[in-house]
Amino acid sequence: MATRNGGLTGLFRKLVGDGPDNTRRAVEKTDAQWRDALTPDKYRVLRDAGTERPFTNEDVHPDADGMYRCGGCNAALFRADTKFDSGSGWPSFYEAEENNVELRRDFSMGMPRTEVVCKACGGHLGHVFNDGPRPTGKRYCINGCALAGD
């Protein structure tokens, strides 16, 4: 299986997207360490930029501080009061914790999109679209298994 930094996925990203992620991260683990730390579903989404099926993990709850966190490294990503029901089948938020996510160009589905990545560990979270509610007009469409809460 190819990972986000190598194999076919890495080559594809290099050719049509932002290229391999060579950024130094606050949380760095080997591929073997990530596989040991994550469930197979979380690994596929967070490390291989997969997408879970819609309506499978919408019912993720925030932690006691009202925060949705990265399922890979526990970084704070979204405040509970920014979550809304988009009807898409994935948890949706209109605002991210700006210092804890990064946005990257993504052409992996043959169309331009903006990928949302955890800044601390580089884990793939989902995508952001410009069809969300006020006040931002953004819809962060996030894989539920990429999130940790209570």
Indicate which CATH number applies to the domain containing 93. 2.170.150.20
pLDDT of residue 72 exceeding 80, the answer is yes
pLDDT of residue 6: 44
Within a domain: residue 26? yes
Within a domain: residue 1? no
Q: Please give the positions annotated as active site.
A: 141
Within a domain: residue 56? yes
Boundaries of domain holding 87: 7-148
Of the candidates 120, 149, 150, 98, the one whose C-alpha atom is nearest the C-alpha of residue 128 is 98
Question: How many domains does the chain fold into?
Answer: 1
pLDDT of residue 103: 98
Question: Residue 11: pLDDT band by 50, 70, 90 thresholds?
Answer: very low
- Taking all residues of the chain, what is their mean pLDDT, rounded to a whole number? 88
CA distance 51 to 31: 19
